[in-house]
Amino acid sequence: MDINTIGITGLGIMGRGIAEASLAAGYHVTVTETDHVSLEKNLDTLSGTLQRLARLKRFPVEIAGSLSERLTGSSDLEALSKCDLVIEAIPEDLEGKKELFRRLDEVCIPRTILATNTSCLPVTEIGSLAGRKDKILGIHFFNPVSLMKLVELIKTPRTSPETLETATRFIESLNKTAVIAPDTPGFIVNRLLLAFLSEAMRLHEMGVSTEDIDRAVTLGLNHPMGPFKLADFVGLDTALYIARSMQQQLNASHFTPPATLEKLVNEGKLGRKTGEGFYRY
Protein backbone atom coordinates (compact mmCIF):
# COMPACT_ATOMS: atom_id res chain seq x y z
CA MET A 1 0.00 0.00 0.00
CA ASP A 2 1.25 3.49 -0.88
CA ILE A 3 0.92 6.42 1.52
CA ASN A 4 0.10 9.81 0.01
CA THR A 5 -2.17 11.58 2.48
CA ILE A 6 -1.60 11.81 6.22
CA GLY A 7 -4.27 12.61 8.78
CA ILE A 8 -3.37 13.87 12.27
CA THR A 9 -5.80 14.23 15.15
CA GLY A 10 -4.57 16.65 17.80
CA LEU A 11 -2.39 19.67 17.07
CA GLY A 12 -0.38 19.93 20.26
CA ILE A 13 3.41 19.86 20.26
CA MET A 14 3.57 16.29 18.97
CA GLY A 15 0.82 16.68 16.39
CA ARG A 16 2.44 19.80 14.96
CA GLY A 17 5.83 18.06 14.90
CA ILE A 18 4.44 15.06 13.02
CA ALA A 19 2.69 17.41 10.58
CA GLU A 20 5.96 19.32 9.99
CA ALA A 21 7.91 16.11 9.28
CA SER A 22 5.19 14.76 6.98
CA LEU A 23 4.89 18.00 5.03
CA ALA A 24 8.67 18.28 4.66
CA ALA A 25 8.69 14.78 3.12
CA GLY A 26 6.13 15.87 0.52
CA TYR A 27 2.92 14.40 1.92
CA HIS A 28 -0.45 16.09 1.90
CA VAL A 29 -1.61 16.52 5.49
CA THR A 30 -5.07 16.96 6.99
CA VAL A 31 -5.24 17.90 10.67
CA THR A 32 -8.19 17.97 13.05
CA GLU A 33 -8.89 19.56 16.41
CA THR A 34 -11.89 19.29 18.69
CA ASP A 35 -13.13 22.84 18.03
CA HIS A 36 -12.66 25.60 15.49
CA VAL A 37 -10.88 28.00 17.88
CA SER A 38 -8.20 25.44 18.82
CA LEU A 39 -7.85 24.44 15.18
CA GLU A 40 -7.23 28.00 13.94
CA LYS A 41 -4.84 28.80 16.80
CA ASN A 42 -2.71 25.70 16.27
CA LEU A 43 -2.79 25.98 12.48
CA ASP A 44 -1.51 29.55 12.77
CA THR A 45 1.25 28.36 15.10
CA LEU A 46 2.23 25.55 12.72
CA SER A 47 2.15 27.77 9.65
CA GLY A 48 4.22 30.45 11.37
CA THR A 49 6.80 27.90 12.47
CA LEU A 50 7.13 26.43 8.98
CA GLN A 51 7.52 29.85 7.35
CA ARG A 52 10.23 30.78 9.86
CA LEU A 53 12.05 27.47 9.33
CA ALA A 54 11.84 27.98 5.55
CA ARG A 55 13.53 31.38 5.91
CA LEU A 56 16.28 29.66 7.91
CA LYS A 57 16.60 26.99 5.18
CA ARG A 58 15.48 24.29 7.63
CA PHE A 59 12.22 23.50 5.84
CA PRO A 60 11.62 23.19 2.06
CA VAL A 61 10.89 26.69 0.72
CA GLU A 62 8.68 25.38 -2.09
CA ILE A 63 6.48 23.49 0.38
CA ALA A 64 6.23 26.48 2.71
CA GLY A 65 5.09 28.50 -0.29
CA SER A 66 2.28 26.06 -1.12
CA LEU A 67 0.97 25.23 2.36
CA SER A 68 -2.59 26.13 1.41
CA GLU A 69 -2.52 23.29 -1.13
CA ARG A 70 -0.75 20.76 1.08
CA LEU A 71 -2.15 21.41 4.57
CA THR A 72 -5.84 21.44 5.45
CA GLY A 73 -7.59 21.57 8.79
CA SER A 74 -11.01 20.75 10.17
CA SER A 75 -12.88 20.31 13.42
CA ASP A 76 -14.78 17.39 11.83
CA LEU A 77 -13.29 13.88 11.82
CA GLU A 78 -15.00 13.25 8.47
CA ALA A 79 -12.18 15.31 6.93
CA LEU A 80 -9.87 12.34 7.59
CA SER A 81 -12.12 9.81 5.86
CA LYS A 82 -9.96 9.31 2.75
CA CYS A 83 -6.50 9.60 4.33
CA ASP A 84 -4.14 6.66 3.79
CA LEU A 85 -2.74 6.92 7.33
CA VAL A 86 -4.26 8.64 10.37
CA ILE A 87 -2.04 9.30 13.40
CA GLU A 88 -3.75 10.05 16.70
CA ALA A 89 -1.83 12.60 18.80
CA ILE A 90 -4.33 13.63 21.48
CA PRO A 91 -3.45 13.76 25.23
CA GLU A 92 -2.65 10.50 27.03
CA ASP A 93 -6.14 9.48 28.12
CA LEU A 94 -6.92 5.82 27.43
CA GLU A 95 -10.71 6.14 27.31
CA GLY A 96 -10.47 9.21 25.08
CA LYS A 97 -8.16 7.43 22.68
CA LYS A 98 -10.37 4.32 22.58
CA GLU A 99 -13.42 6.40 21.71
CA LEU A 100 -11.48 8.32 19.05
CA PHE A 101 -10.37 5.07 17.40
CA ARG A 102 -13.96 3.84 17.41
CA ARG A 103 -15.07 7.00 15.61
CA LEU A 104 -12.15 6.93 13.17
CA ASP A 105 -12.98 3.34 12.31
CA GLU A 106 -16.50 4.47 11.41
CA VAL A 107 -15.54 7.45 9.22
CA CYS A 108 -12.37 6.24 7.47
CA ILE A 109 -12.37 4.17 4.31
CA PRO A 110 -11.40 0.48 4.78
CA ARG A 111 -7.79 0.85 3.58
CA THR A 112 -6.90 3.60 6.08
CA ILE A 113 -4.25 2.64 8.64
CA LEU A 114 -4.97 3.91 12.16
CA ALA A 115 -1.98 4.68 14.38
CA THR A 116 -1.52 6.07 17.87
CA ASN A 117 1.41 8.20 19.01
CA THR A 118 0.98 7.12 22.64
CA SER A 119 4.20 6.98 24.65
CA CYS A 120 3.18 4.23 27.09
CA LEU A 121 -0.48 3.16 26.82
CA PRO A 122 -1.33 -0.30 25.38
CA VAL A 123 -1.97 -0.03 21.65
CA THR A 124 -4.17 -3.13 21.60
CA GLU A 125 -6.49 -1.58 24.17
CA ILE A 126 -6.53 1.81 22.41
CA GLY A 127 -7.84 0.07 19.28
CA SER A 128 -10.17 -2.31 21.11
CA LEU A 129 -13.41 -0.55 20.07
CA ALA A 130 -12.43 -0.35 16.40
CA GLY A 131 -12.60 -2.95 13.68
CA ARG A 132 -9.78 -3.31 11.11
CA LYS A 133 -7.49 -4.77 13.83
CA ASP A 134 -4.95 -5.67 11.13
CA LYS A 135 -4.54 -1.97 10.29
CA ILE A 136 -3.94 -0.66 13.83
CA LEU A 137 -0.49 -0.04 15.30
CA GLY A 138 1.52 2.40 17.37
CA ILE A 139 3.77 4.98 15.70
CA HIS A 140 5.62 6.61 18.58
CA PHE A 141 7.54 9.74 17.60
CA PHE A 142 9.86 11.45 20.07
CA ASN A 143 9.95 15.13 20.98
CA PRO A 144 11.15 17.24 19.25
CA VAL A 145 10.01 15.36 16.17
CA SER A 146 12.15 17.45 13.82
CA LEU A 147 15.38 16.45 15.61
CA MET A 148 14.73 12.95 16.93
CA LYS A 149 15.59 10.29 14.36
CA LEU A 150 14.03 7.32 16.13
CA VAL A 151 10.41 6.16 15.81
CA GLU A 152 9.02 3.12 17.60
CA LEU A 153 6.54 1.02 15.63
CA ILE A 154 4.38 -0.93 18.07
CA LYS A 155 2.97 -4.12 16.59
CA THR A 156 -0.11 -5.63 18.23
CA PRO A 157 -0.83 -9.37 17.93
CA ARG A 158 -3.20 -8.58 15.06
CA THR A 159 -1.22 -5.94 13.14
CA SER A 160 -0.67 -7.33 9.65
CA PRO A 161 2.81 -7.62 8.07
CA GLU A 162 1.60 -5.34 5.26
CA THR A 163 0.57 -2.62 7.73
CA LEU A 164 3.92 -2.85 9.51
CA GLU A 165 5.81 -2.72 6.21
CA THR A 166 3.80 0.29 5.03
CA ALA A 167 4.41 2.13 8.31
CA THR A 168 8.13 1.34 8.12
CA ARG A 169 8.37 2.78 4.60
CA PHE A 170 6.53 5.90 5.77
CA ILE A 171 8.97 6.42 8.65
CA GLU A 172 11.96 5.89 6.38
CA SER A 173 10.54 8.46 3.94
CA LEU A 174 10.74 11.00 6.79
CA ASN A 175 14.48 10.26 7.03
CA LYS A 176 13.97 8.53 10.37
CA THR A 177 14.80 5.07 11.69
CA ALA A 178 12.08 2.67 12.77
CA VAL A 179 12.43 -0.03 15.42
CA ILE A 180 9.78 -2.66 16.09
CA ALA A 181 8.64 -2.57 19.71
CA PRO A 182 6.37 -4.94 21.66
CA ASP A 183 2.98 -3.77 22.86
CA THR A 184 4.13 -3.62 26.46
CA PRO A 185 4.04 -0.58 28.82
CA GLY A 186 6.68 1.96 27.79
CA PHE A 187 7.60 -0.07 24.68
CA ILE A 188 11.42 0.02 24.40
CA VAL A 189 12.70 3.52 25.08
CA ASN A 190 10.41 4.67 27.89
CA ARG A 191 10.57 1.32 29.65
CA LEU A 192 14.35 1.64 29.86
CA LEU A 193 14.38 5.40 30.34
CA LEU A 194 12.00 5.59 33.30
CA ALA A 195 13.84 2.88 35.21
CA PHE A 196 17.09 4.76 34.53
CA LEU A 197 15.70 8.17 35.55
CA SER A 198 14.05 6.77 38.68
CA GLU A 199 17.25 5.14 39.92
CA ALA A 200 19.19 8.35 39.26
CA MET A 201 16.65 10.29 41.31
CA ARG A 202 16.86 7.79 44.16
CA LEU A 203 20.64 8.16 44.19
CA HIS A 204 20.12 11.91 44.40
CA GLU A 205 17.76 11.41 47.37
CA MET A 206 20.61 9.50 49.06
CA GLY A 207 22.74 12.65 48.84
CA VAL A 208 24.57 12.38 45.51
CA SER A 209 24.50 15.67 43.60
CA THR A 210 22.68 15.96 40.28
CA GLU A 211 25.89 17.35 38.77
CA ASP A 212 27.97 14.33 39.84
CA ILE A 213 25.38 11.84 38.58
CA ASP A 214 25.14 13.64 35.24
CA ARG A 215 28.95 13.77 34.94
CA ALA A 216 29.21 10.07 35.80
CA VAL A 217 26.70 9.13 33.11
CA THR A 218 28.08 11.39 30.37
CA LEU A 219 31.73 10.44 31.01
CA GLY A 220 31.31 6.89 32.28
CA LEU A 221 28.53 5.68 30.00
CA ASN A 222 29.24 8.06 27.11
CA HIS A 223 25.64 9.36 27.05
CA PRO A 224 25.20 12.76 25.36
CA MET A 225 23.52 14.14 28.51
CA GLY A 226 22.97 12.99 32.05
CA PRO A 227 19.64 11.78 33.48
CA PHE A 228 18.74 15.06 35.22
CA LYS A 229 19.38 17.25 32.20
CA LEU A 230 17.46 14.72 30.13
CA ALA A 231 14.53 14.67 32.57
CA ASP A 232 14.38 18.47 32.49
CA PHE A 233 14.43 18.36 28.70
CA VAL A 234 11.66 15.73 28.48
CA GLY A 235 9.54 17.58 31.07
CA LEU A 236 9.18 16.40 34.65
CA ASP A 237 5.39 16.28 34.35
CA THR A 238 5.75 13.98 31.33
CA ALA A 239 8.24 11.78 33.18
CA LEU A 240 5.92 11.60 36.19
CA TYR A 241 2.91 10.67 34.06
CA ILE A 242 4.79 7.87 32.29
CA ALA A 243 6.26 6.56 35.56
CA ARG A 244 2.81 6.44 37.18
CA SER A 245 1.26 4.76 34.16
CA MET A 246 3.97 2.11 33.94
CA GLN A 247 3.89 1.43 37.69
CA GLN A 248 0.14 0.87 37.48
CA GLN A 249 0.34 -1.33 34.40
CA LEU A 250 3.33 -3.41 35.47
CA ASN A 251 2.93 -3.26 39.26
CA ALA A 252 6.72 -3.00 39.47
CA SER A 253 8.25 -1.11 42.39
CA HIS A 254 11.19 0.26 40.40
CA PHE A 255 8.75 2.37 38.36
CA THR A 256 7.25 4.00 41.49
CA PRO A 257 7.79 7.77 41.01
CA PRO A 258 10.54 9.07 43.32
CA ALA A 259 9.44 11.59 45.96
CA THR A 260 11.72 14.27 44.49
CA LEU A 261 9.98 14.03 41.12
CA GLU A 262 6.53 14.30 42.73
CA LYS A 263 7.67 17.34 44.73
CA LEU A 264 9.09 19.26 41.79
CA VAL A 265 5.99 18.68 39.67
CA ASN A 266 3.72 19.77 42.53
CA GLU A 267 5.78 22.98 42.78
CA GLY A 268 5.35 23.63 39.05
CA LYS A 269 9.05 23.08 38.35
CA LEU A 270 8.73 21.03 35.20
CA GLY A 271 12.16 21.47 33.64
CA ARG A 272 13.33 23.61 30.74
CA LYS A 273 9.81 24.60 29.67
CA THR A 274 9.19 26.37 33.00
CA GLY A 275 12.74 27.60 33.56
CA GLU A 276 13.43 25.32 36.51
CA GLY A 277 13.47 21.61 37.30
CA PHE A 278 16.48 19.79 38.64
CA TYR A 279 18.44 22.75 37.19
CA ARG A 280 17.66 26.44 36.62
CA TYR A 281 17.51 27.74 33.04
Would you name the residues annotated as active-site residues?
A: 119, 140, 152, 190
Q: Residue by residue, what is the 3-state secondary structure of the chain?
A: CCCCEEEEECCCHHHHHHHHHHHHCCCEEEEECCCHHHHHHHHHHHHHHHHHHHHCCCCCHHHHCCHHHHEEEECCHHHHCCCCEEEECCCCCHHHHHHHHHHHHHHCCCCCEEEECCCCCCHHHHCCCCCCHHHEEEEEECCCCCCCCEEEEEECCCCCHHHHHHHHHHHHHCCCEEEEEECCCCCCHHHHHHHHHHHHHHHHHCCCCHHHHHHHHHHHCCCCCCHHHHHHHHCHHHHHHHHHHHHHHHCCHHHCCCHHHHHHHHCCCCEHHHCECCCEC
